[in-house]
Each structure stands twice: as C-alpha cells, then as structure tokens.
Amino acid sequence: MNSELTRWTGPEGLPRFDLIADTDMAPAFDRELAAAEAAMEAIAANPDAPTFANTVAVMEVAEEGLNRVLSIFYTLANVDSNPAREALQRDFAPRLAAYNSKTGMDPRLYARVKAVAATADTLPPEDRRITELALRGLTRSGAGLEGQARDRMAEIRARMAVLTTQFSQNVLADERDYVLRVPEDRLEGLPDWLLRSMRAAAKERDIEGQVVTLSRSLIVPFLEYAHDRALRETAFRAWAARGSGQGAGGEATNNLPLAAEILALRNERARLLGYADFAAFKLEPEMAGTADRVAELLGQVWKPAYKRAAEDEAKLTAMARDDGVNGALEPWDWRLYAERLRRREHDFDADQVKPYLTLDAMLEAMMDVAYRLFRLEFQPFDAPLWSPDARVWRITRDGHLMAIFVGDYFARPSKRSGAWCSSLQVQHKIGAGQRPIVVNVCNFAPPEQPGAPAFLSWDDARTLFHEFGHATHHILSDVTWPSISGTSVAQDFVELPSQLYEHWLEQPAVLDAHARHHRTGQPLPADLRDRLLAAGKADAGFATTEYLESALVDLAFHRGDPPADAMARQAQVLADLDAPSAIPMRHATPHFSHVFSGDSYASGYYSYMWSEVMDADAFAAFEETGDIFDPATARRLEETILSRGGSAPADQLWLAFRQRMPGVDALLRGRGLA
C-alpha cells in the first residue's frame, strides 16, 4: 500500500500528490476502513466501565487514518474527476454507508456514550460538548432502534449512499460533456474578455474557435451579453436540462427517479426515528429549529423580492419589445436586458471594471483583509499538487504557523461545478496537535494563454471572498477535538463567516488599494467604483427570487409526505408562489446538488439566508465603531465565533459576539430591498 496516503511527506506536511496513483486508493481504503472498524469495535467491546477517556475521547481518533485517505480521495474526485475515480466513488459509498450504519447504530457504543453523557456535568465544557454531540449523533443515526426498524435503517443508509453519489456524477457528466460551438458570425455583443475565455475553453477541448460550456463562469456572462437570442436559448436550455434526462448524457444521466427515491427514503428514515417528516428531523439541531420558522423568514423576504422582480420585469419586457421581441420575457432574456438596464440606470458597464479585477489583484485584496482583521500573513511555496493551476501558501501570525492554504481557482472539464471550501486536515490539540490544511476551489474562466492575467467578474470576486470566509473558520479554529473544529457547526450557522467576509470586498478602502488596472497599475477610478457598488444591487429582485424559489421548493420537498413526482411538487410550489416564469429556480430539481448529492443542505438550503440575517448584523458591529477593521471587534469575532467551531450551540456563540439576535431589516437593506 502507498504509505503516502496516510503519512504525508510533502512540503509543510502536505500529501505528495505526485506520488499517489488511482490504483493506490482501493488498497489504502480497504486497510484504513478495517483499522477504523477494529478501533470502534475495541471501544464498543471494552469491558471496563465507560468513561470519557476510554469512550468518547478515543472515538475522536478512531477514524484518523480513514479520514486522511478519504480527504485525499474526495479532494481529487471533486477537482479532477475521471472514470477510475468515479468507479471508486461508487464502490466506496455503500461500504462507507455500511460502516457508518454499523458504528452509528451500535447499541454497545450507544450505551457507553449514554453512560458518559449521564455524568457530563462533571466534564470540562469542550469534553461535555463532544459527549452531547456524540450521543445526539448516535441517537439520530438510529442506535436506539431495534429489530426490523434497525435493519431497515441500515438498508436506507446504504441505498442513500449509492443514490446521492450517482446524482452528483450525473450532474458532472452533463456539465462535462456539453459544448456549444459559437460561430464567428454570431459573436455580436460578446466582450473581448469573454471571447478570450470561450477560446481558452475551446482550446482545452481541442476545438477550433470559441465555445460555451456549462461552467457558470462562461454560461452566465454569455447570457448577459450575447445578442443572438437563439443561441442564448440553446445555451440556457442545456444549462437547465442538466440531470433531467434531456441533458448531454440523455436518459443515462436522468436524476429525476433518483430524486424521488431519495426523498422517499429520507422521509422513511425520519419516521423510523419518530419525526413527522424529514424537515422536522433535519431542522431540530439547527438554529432555525422548525420548518415554520424557516418558512416565516423566507416569507418575510419573498414579498419585497417579488415586488422588486415584478417592477424590473416590466422594465426589461419594454426593452425587449424595443428589440422586436414579441411575447413574454423568457429566462434566456432576463440577464441580457438586466445588464443593459444596469448600464442605463447606473451608467455602469461591467467591461470597464474587468481590467481591474484580476485574480491576482483580488487574491491580494483577500489576503490584505485577512491581515488587517486577524494579522494573518501569506507566504507562497512550491508543492506537488493535483494541477499546475493550484497554488499553496503558508499562513502565519506573529511568526507562528496557523494553517496551510491551497487555492484551485480555474474551471476544468474534470472539476465539479460551483465553488467550495474543504480541508485535507482540521485543527485539533490531541497529542502534539495539528494545524489545518484548507482548500478553496472555484471555477473561474482561465486566461486564454498561460501567464496572461485571469479576469474576474464582480460575482467571481465575491465568490473568492466567500470561500475564504469559510477558510477563516478553519484557519482560526482553536479547539481540542476534531469533531468540533472549524466549520463543524449548525448548517444554518456555517455560512455566517463566509458571507460576512464578502462585505469587505465592497469597501472603498479595499477596492481603492487593490482593484488596479492590469496594464497601467492605476487604481479603479472612484466614480466607476461607486457606480459598480450601486449597480451591485440593481438586479436584487431577480437574485433573491431565484434563490428563494429553490429554498422554498427544498423545504416543500421535505415537509409532509414525500412527492412521488418531484417535478410536479416543484411546479406546484412555484405556481402557489405565482413565481415569475422568466425567473426559474437557481437550482432546479434535476441538478439541485446541494439537496440531492448529500444531506448537508437537504431541508437546509434556506441556511444561506438565515446566515445572511446574521452577517448583515455582524458587519454592522464593525461599522458602528467607525472602523471596518476595528481590532477589538475583529478580536471578539475570532474569540466568540471563528476560533470556537462547534464547541457551543450556534445561538450561544452568536449572542456572545453580538449580545442580541438579529432581525431581517439589515438583510433587506443590504440587498437593496428595504
């Protein structure tokens, strides 16, 4: 077996990705899965009376080797998928589910943890917290079930692992395999920076000319600028068809039967555990607590968002009429006319800003904010990673190593779409302890030529800051136990650091210092900067509406009886909302990976908005001091939230920082909907 999968020997403790082959994965997985099973069995079978030290504490390290192998494997499977890795995913998923069922439903472990929890009041706070969480996890896994109910729960978990893996792979296949060639005589309206990205995408696929792929960094600007309405419709329909059976993979990548089965199994799982439905089960440990509270928040925002969207739709329809477009405004029209309206009402052209928003400049801005808030310093170094596009830095504070940070920013056909933050290893203090190795992944359009600047859209720059906000949660983590480290928090709290960090991108002090022309080095002119910031809220009705549609459909999927036909339930929710036909869901059911590629965001897509209520109020805490980099407020943010991970319930952490719960008003003002 390749020892590099568990004993990392690369620079700064990184894995040597250049020494790891796909054929190494299965033997390493087999060995470490067996080791984890043996470790958990030893805990469960221990004849000694259960204590924190011989039960909960050793559970924290029982899967260390397995976690190291899986962190490498799933990182590679997400950033550079190939048939071998996809086959391994399909093999690993049910075996991991079986292992998790065996350990998560082990009555001996349950009894031991329950005994420790009965005396948890005598434990230090962090020890008490992980004991409570361990007991909750076992209970919610079904460790208290017996007989047929226990057997059925194990079957459900195994089947869900297969279904969610297949769902994700189907979406990736449709995204990877679709290419729309755009002829030279149909390029009208497309700016030079977008054409360069389209040509780079074509070159990567050994195609002459320029293409549109289903990478968000290409498809969205194409819909914003392309004058050719027929091409916009073709591109949009392909984007919307991912996972529907009508996408590039045809019926072979149809996710609709998978979605229906996933929803049915989730509901059955919740009922086996005594909950009315999956939403009740999922939301119980979250800040929101109940589906009614989630629906109340989303409803409060829906009304002003719908009103703004309707006002904008009337304006955009009139503009389309002037272009000779008869009939209703269509989804492939909205972005084009919204961009024109933004130019008209705010005297703003995104093309003017692009030369100032290079990836390197925005990375410098991101790092400068980290230094001014938390005194974090970045030193790049060389290490063998999975792609020459990936970069790596040491992050230090006052000379002490805080973390290793990896950024992989450019789209590739083999990379999963979207953007995310993950970790190769998390911070903890067990034994000699370990510092985190954090990974940010994005899908920005690469430069046309190696070494040329990569230009970001404003949305791309916001994504860059968002994912690094997640990274700060890992980098600043300061807890003893890995299970509560970093982003191991309630799902509707996890987006707070990421969305809060976005606020600094919008600050004139940051843009003036870092948004500089890639050729001249001149700063972004103040009047252009101000128009950029004003225009950023111009299409808030659309952005909020498409998000809320997805969040409300997700909630409806998981309340009450599961739908036999997920698309029919989606259609009913949108009809009840009287949702604008020109604003489809941000993530329609067949490619709603947040919800169907795993349980994290199932009945939880609302959490972005729940966290946004807090992030608006958290940034106000800085503004109230008169200094957006106020050291005392930044220190309080770190000490009460960013360093604490899941060491206390989320509402307690929030109250320690802000001393009160937030309201929705700051969110509405921030989105320009007040």
Q: Quickly list DSSP for 507-573.
A: -HHHHHHH-B-TTT-PBPPHHHHHHHHHHTTTTHHHHHHHHHHHHHHHHHHHSSSPPSSHHHHHHHH
Give the confidence band of 671 by pLDDT, cuts at 50, 70, 90.
confident
pLDDT at 348 over 70: yes
Residue 4 confidence (pLDDT): 86
Q: Which pLDDT belongs to residue 580? A: 95
Q: Output the six-digit token pair for 521.
A: 């080095």
What are the C-alpha distances in Å from 81 to residues 77, 169, 343, 417? 5, 9, 39, 11
Amino acid 24: pLDDT? 96
Phi then psi for 629, rounded to 5 degrees? Answer: -115, 25
DSSP state of 478: -
- Interatomic CA distance for residues 627 and 647, integer angstroms: 29
Helix-strand-coil percent breakdown of the chain, rounded to 5?
Answer: 60, 5, 30
- Coil/strand/helix, residue 591: helix
Q: What is the pLDDT of residue 217?
A: 86
What would the mean pLDDT of 145-171 be, rounded to a whole number? 95
Name the average pLDDT for the chain: 95
Is the per-residue pLDDT at 567 higher than 70?
yes
Token pair in block for residue 566: 């997920």
Report the C-alpha gap between 83 and 370 in whole angstroms: 39
- What is the C-alpha R_g of the chain? 25
Angle ∠(520,463,446) on CA atoms, nearest 5: 55
Whole-Å CA distances, 187 to 75, 199, 329: 37, 12, 22
Instruction: List, for residues 297-321, the tens digit of each pLDDT value.
Output: 999 999 999 999 999 999 999 999 9
The pLDDT value given to residue 286: 95
**Confidence at residue 330, expressed as pLDDT on a 0 to 100 scale:** 97
| pLDDT band at residue 665 using 50, 70 and 90 as cut-offs | confident
Tens of pLDDT, residues 493-520: 999 999 999 999 999 999 999 999 999 9
Answer whether 476's CB lies under 8 Å from 512's CB. Answer: no
Summarised one tens digit per residue, pLDDT across range 235-262 is: 999 999 999 999 989 999 999 999 999 9
| Contact yes or no for 454/445 (Cβ under 8 A) | yes
- pLDDT tens profile 373-432: 999 999 999 999 999 999 999 999 999 999 999 999 999 989 988 999 999 999 999 999
Burial (CB < 10 A; 0-12, 13-18, 19+), residue 284, is middle
CA 210 to chain centre: 29
Instruction: Locate 250 and state its tokens.
Output: 């045809």
Alpha carbons 62 and 58: distance in angstroms, whole number: 6
Amino acid at residue number 498? S
Mean pLDDT within 633-642: 98
Whether residue 556 has pLDDT greater than 70:
yes
pLDDT of 333 > 70? The answer is yes
User: Above 90 in pLDDT, residue 472?
Assistant: yes
**Amino acid identity for residue 109 in this structure:** L
Q: Are residues 305 and 311 in contact, defined by beta-carbon separation less than 8 angstroms?
A: no
pLDDT band for position 667 (cuts 50, 70, 90): confident
Q: How far apart are CA 668 and CA 674, in angstroms?
A: 5
In this predicted structure, the answer to whether residue 659 has a pLDDT above a threshold of 70 is yes
pLDDT surpassing 90 at residue 95: yes
Which amino acid makes up residue 488? S
pLDDT in tens, 42-52: 999 999 999 99
Looking at residue 378, the DSSP 8-state letter turns out to be E
CB 335 within 8 A of CB 357: no
With cut-offs at 50, 70 and 90, classify the pLDDT of residue 1. Answer: low
Chain segment 442-454, per-residue pLDDT in tens: 999 898 788 889 9
For residue 386, the model assigns a pLDDT of 96
- Residue pair 316/329 in contact (Cβ under 8 Å)? The answer is yes
Domains and CATH numbers, the chain: 3-104+106-144 (1.20.1050.40), 178-253 (no CATH), 291-346+538-670 (1.10.1370.10), 354-535 (1.10.1370.40)
Cα 587 to Cα 601: distance, rounded to the nearest angstrom: 12
